[in-house]
Amino acid sequence: MTQTVTRSEVEEFVYETCARLDEKDLEGFLELCDAGFSYKVTAYAPEIRREMTWLDRGRGEIEEFFKMLPKHNTDQSPLTRHAQVTRVRIDEAGQRAEVNSTLQVFRTRLDGGATELFAVGRYIDIVAVREGRPRLLARHVKLDTRDLGWGTHLPL
C-alpha cells in the first residue's frame, strides 16, 4: 500500500528544512531534498518593474556549491528562519503537496549578538512523497526584501 502524507506531516517537514538550514547542516538539508530538487530566489523590483531571479540552481549545482562553501569568505552570523505554513494543497493521491509559507529571516551578529531582521518573503514549496517520506522537490523563495546588505552565501 502506498503511503500518503498528511498536512501536519507536511508542515512539520517545512519546519524541519528551516531547522537544518538554521543549524547550517547543509548535508542534512540536502537529505530532505529530492534528487530532482530545484531552488530559486526571486524578488520583484519596482524600480525596473520586473521579477528578478537572484538564484536558480538544480540539485547538482547546489551540492557543488555547498562543498565549496568552506573555501569562501562568508558572513558567519547565524540566520534564523521563521516560517509559518499558510496553505497546503495535497493531491488526491497524497503524493505531492504545494505548500505556501510566510517567511522571516533574522540575522544574529556574532559580535555582540544583536538580532536584526534580514529578509521577509514567502516559501513556495513542492513537496513530494518518496518511499513514504516527504521530500522537497522545489523551493521558490519569493522575497519582499530586496536590500540584503552585503548578501549571504547561505540559502534562505
Name which of 15 and 66 has its Cβ closer to other proteins: 66
Name which of 35 and 72 has its Cβ closer to other proteins: 72
Spatial separation of the C-alpha atoms in residues 143 and 19, rounded to whole Å: 19
Contact call for residue 116 and other proteins (CB under 8 A):
no
Contact call for residue 45 and other proteins (CB under 8 A):
yes
- Using the contact rule CB under 8 A, the part of the chain among 23-31, 39-47, 78-86, 88-96 near other proteins is 39-47
Return the closest-CA partner of residue 33 out of 21, 49, 51, 50. Answer: 21
Return the closest-CA partner of residue 37 out of 15, 66, 62. Answer: 62
Contact 141, 40 (CB under 8 A): yes
Contact 80, 105 (CB under 8 A): yes
Q: Which cell is 5 given?
A: 502524507
Name which of 129 and 139 has its Cβ closer to other proteins: 139
Contact call for residue 112 and other proteins (CB under 8 A):
no
Single out the residue of 3, 24, 31, 54 in contact with other proteins (rule: CB under 8 A).
Answer: 54
Q: Which cell is 155 given?
A: 540559502
User: Is residue 80 packed enough to be buried (19+ CB in 10 Å), middle (13-18) or exposed (0-12)?
Assistant: middle
- Using the contact rule CB under 8 A, the part of the chain among 42-50, 86-94, 96-104, 126-134 near other proteins is 42-50
Name which of 68 and 120 has its Cβ closer to other proteins: 68
* Residue 65 C-beta: closest distance to other proteins, Å: 6
- Could you list the residues that contact other proteins (CB under 8 A)? 41, 45-50, 52-57, 61, 64-65, 68, 71-75, 146-153, 155
